[in-house]
Chains A and B, each alone.
Chain A
Amino acid sequence: MASRPNKLSSFNIAALALGLAFLYLPIVILIIYSFNASRLVTVWGGWSLQWYGEFFHDEAMIDAAWMSLRVGATSATLATILGTLAAVALARGAGFRGRTLFSGMLYAPLVMPEVITGLSLLLLFVAIDAERGFWTVVIAHTTLTMCFVSVVVQARLGALDRSLEEAAMDLGCGPARAFLSVTLPLILPSVAAGWMLAFTLSLDDLVIASFTTGPGSATLPIRIYSEVRLGVKPEINAICTLVVALIALVIVAASLASKMSDARGKSAAPL
């Protein structure tokens, strides 16, 4: 036989390599240019850290970054608690009244255009006369990201061997005890991965934050967006590189978490 059907062909390798290069090259170029000494973005003037210095002297940008980190950490924590509860209910609760509506509400935000989610939340906040700022953005981001957490944790719960929980209960554990001492430790890596996914999604969001924030409390993406509209500036390259570095750290932590989960003898959770 000329070629085994399941072997990796050179076409497969080329498609894979090109696809990955397409995904990574622009970010690599952005990072390299953030160290450019020249003010002109396209002229290479040697290596320099001056744009990073400029960022640390830009108070409005620092405030926005701090706001984003606080919103990200708070909303990711709320989203992880609510998303994990939702995942447990869907994966272990069998059929209950309103289950279809419940899962629908959890899956729809994953694809819902952000302009709709953002506008609808803003109209709610205006109607109940809530002061817009930190907490309204936290609520908005929690609503969006808990759905992602729930998908990640639910996938893990689905792959889990249920006989472990059953064994714990046969041995006299109550359901709460069985969950806390058997299920929770086993799903913990995916819960951690869910938190980190929620954090990065919150750190990234422009549209929903633009609708739900108030005057004077811009998040980092809102600041970056208003600068980017005015054109490319080397300082923005530096800020973007810092964000990419932070997210890279989070990803390393998440992959360590999923390694731990692999070590427990289960398949890795998706995302």
Chain B
Amino acid sequence: MSGRSIFTRPARFAAIAPYLWMALFFLVPFLFVLKISLSQTAIAQPPYTPVFDVAEGWEAIKSAFAALSLDNFHLLVTDDLYVLSYLRSLMVAAVSTAILLAIGYPVAYGMARLPPRWQAIAMMLVIVPFWTSFLIRIYAWINILQHDGLLNEVLLALHLVSSPVVWLSTDSAMYLGIVYSYLPFMILPLYATLSKMDPALLEAASDLGASPLAAFWRVTFPLSLPGIGAGALLCFIPIVGEFVIPDLLAGSDALMIGQTLWLEFFTNKDWPVASATAVVLLLLLLAPLLLYERLQRRQLEQA
């Protein structure tokens, strides 16, 4: 044990550089988002009036605090555009997570039942698409789903439809894209818990007279709940703020909050409203984020 205590102190010094980096480039930027969300929009470069300028001294800071404005937040809760965006994002994320779970669970379950040699290969096959570009995989679907794309060609050739079906710019295309992109994120944590399960447990259940289905519901399923939680959070949180997939695959009549934020920032050049949108999004995601952080820490530090 003495060896470990010698190693602990220098290991702590290793934290200094990454700690400072993350504080400066991850934590501090949120303060700027908060600050700008409280300032007024201006037609200028950058397009907002600064809330305060430290160089102007204490009096300026005091008067600046008096001028802090919650106008942007007021706009967010009163304008239907934003409220509907938030609601749509939460709904899309919830529905997608449910679909992902329904598809990912059987796949992960099948993987965990493979002979060990094949498990490694199957795991590799699930991870590879995660390494392949997000954007390219969405683009691949546009190829297939467009008006004269492969899907319509096949359906027409099989006489399943009489005229091309509109697939692109629909919610179905968006859900397909989301499920496709996030499937590895669901499968991997599920597989991690399912593969650690002791097969003797199921044999015991079976010996005690449980049918395979009953054994699944009363043994496998409860034991895989941590994996379900990790997979669901790993998908749900980023999907709420997703921009690329709805932008390329969904129609333009209803926006997700990531699209609204993007539009406010890049098209309307309204940085204060974009910042306020980000602050509210972060508040909505705070509880799932904290939960995810706890699960992740417990998992990595138990290893």
**Contact residues of A with B, CB < 8 Å?**
1, 3-9, 11-13, 15-16, 19-20, 22-24, 26-27, 29-30, 33, 40-42, 81-83, 85-86, 88-94, 96, 98, 102-117, 119-121, 123-124, 126-127, 139-140, 142-143, 146, 150-151, 154-155, 158-159, 162, 165-167, 169-170, 175-176, 178-179, 197, 200, 203-204, 206-207, 210-211, 221, 224-225, 228-229, 232, 236-237, 240, 243-244, 247, 250-251, 255, 268, 270-271
Contacts and interface: CB of A to CB of B under 8 A. Distances in A.
Contacts of B243: 114-115, 207
Contact of B289 (A83, A108, A225): A108
Nearest to B244: A206
B110 A13 contact: yes
A166 B14 contact: no
Given A112-B238, A123-B33, A271-B130, 5 more contacts: A115-B243, A124-B25, A146-B21, A204-B135, A240-B133
Contact of B17 (A82, A143, A268): A82
B199 interface: yes
Contact of B10 (A114, A176, A207): A176
B203 interface: yes
Interface string B162-183: 0000000000000000001001
Interface in B58-109: 103-104, 106-107, 109
B258 A23 contact: no
B contact patch SS: helix
Contacts of A111: 233-234, 237-238, 289, 292
List the 5 closest pairs (A to B, CB-CB), nearest first: A113-B241, A158-B303, A166-B3, A89-B15, A120-B29
Given A8-B114, A27-B137, A119-B274, A15 B258 contact: no
B126 interface: yes
B291 to A, nearest CB: 11
Contacts, number: 305
Nearest to B50: A127
Interface of B: 3-4, 6-15, 17-19, 21-23, 25-30, 32-33, 36, 46, 103-104, 106-107, 109-111, 113-114, 120, 122, 124-137, 139-144, 146, 148-150, 153, 180, 183-184, 187-188, 192, 199, 202-203, 205-206, 212, 215, 233-234, 237-238, 240-244, 248, 258, 261-262, 265-266, 271, 274-275, 278, 281-282, 285, 289, 292-293, 296-297, 300-301, 303
